[in-house]
Amino acid sequence: MRVMITGGAGFIGSAVVRELSKNADCKVSVFDALTYAGNLDSIGEAQKIGDVAFFHSDLLNVDEVRQCLFSIKPNIVMHLAAESHVDRSIDGPKQFLETNVVGTFNILQVAVEFYNSISVDDRERFRFHHISTDEVYGDLEGTDELFTEETPYAPSSPYSATKAASDHLVRAWGRTYGLPVIITNCSNNYGPYHFPEKLIPHMILNALAGKPLPVYGDGSQIRDWLYVEDHARALIQVATEAKPGSTYNIGGHNEIKNIDVVRNICELLEELAPEKPAGVNRYEDLITFVKDRPGHDTRYAIDASKIKRELGWEPQETFESGLRKTVQWYLDNRTWWERVLSGEYRLGRLGVGEK
């Protein structure tokens, strides 16, 4: 099996790479532009144990996309490359349009060229798996509603709007050009190797440094949290087992208010890192409420019953077990996140086609 993963040095992509690297019969090709969120340190162990190649390339360069895809000759393309931070999309939406919309258009165009060039047998095996987000659905009113695969799109931020656009492109290329596409929409991921600007790692590292723990508004926003390794296993199962044209929502069955997420982190740190920075009595004392984000969605919650019913997947981690593993990972892997915070991880980038 030959798998090409765009954005494979990012948070979710690297989890997929690490999982696939355990399979001796799988050749993994990571395609990544290594923007600020791409980190070769996150796939280093996978490259040691598995057949993992790295291509330093940009989706905005069609020639590079074509060169990589036609040289890799994948059975499966897993498209995870995306700009994904909501705050950054509000401050600078153009980059999100370029990467999430134009980048997706470019790889779809090349994927169709490639698909039309291969044998009938290879076409039967080929899949283009587009990985998206539950944020395309907007937010939910009340406490009982859930996002299903039939929920209408109503994105609220530049980020979610560009992801919604990319979803529509993938569906259209499937219907118009016959490309065998699959789409998955996931809830909030967390776990090891998460870029420090995201909520959970940001709170862990700020607390360890004795810095404020900024919470938007009153922290009442509700999210469904999915442990990234559970998500990686789901994505691989979908890519290898789902029928073309399928869409699956992937969730962790863990709806929690943002403020409770932060408090849970503080409680775990009290246990796992009792020696606090100077001047800190309790980690929870560092919680600081700040002005809410513009257009901030109130609640996300996924109905993941379809993927369980059709493919038998369900998360292995509860939020409690996954969060404990996550906090412990950051305590045990200081070198990884110190290299991110210092910017050292961005030095010595590789060239196209280099391992």
Closest CA to 101 of 70, 137, 130, 71: 130
Q: Which of 19, 32, 83, 134 is catalytic?
A: 134
How far apart CA 82 and CA 155 sit, in angstroms, is 16
* Domain assignment of residue 353, yes or no: no
Residue range 307-325, pLDDT digits in tens:
999 999 999 999 999 999 9
* Domain assignment of residue 354, yes or no: no
* Domain assignment of residue 72, yes or no: yes
* Domain assignment of residue 351, yes or no: no
134 catalytic, yes or no?
yes
* Domain assignment of residue 183, yes or no: yes
How far apart CA 301 and CA 141 sit, in angstroms, is 11
135 catalytic, yes or no?
yes
Two structure tokens written together for 70: 């036609």
Q: Which residues on adjacent β-strands are paired with residue 250?
A: 186
CATH code of the domain covering residue 189: 3.40.50.720
Instruction: Give the distance from CA 109 to its chain's centroid.
Output: 23
Q: Which residues on adjacent β-strands are paired with residue 130?
A: 79, 183
Q: Which of 32, 64, 83, 135 is catalytic?
A: 135
Q: Which of 137, 159, 227, 345 is catalytic?
A: 159
Q: For the chain, what is the domain count?
A: 1
* Domain assignment of residue 70, yes or no: yes
241 catalytic, yes or no?
no
* Domain assignment of residue 296, yes or no: yes
pLDDT at 351: 42
* Domain assignment of residue 355, yes or no: no
How far apart CA 184 and CA 311 sit, in angstroms, is 13
Element (H, E) at 324: helix 319-332
Write out residues in the chain with pLDDT < 70, as ranges. 142-143, 348-355
pLDDT at 349: 54
Predicted TM-score of the model (pTM): 0.94
Backbone angles phi, psi at 73, to 5 degrees: 50, 60
pLDDT at 354: 42
Backbone angles phi, psi at 295, to 5 degrees: 65, 25
Structural domain boundaries, residue 14: 2-346
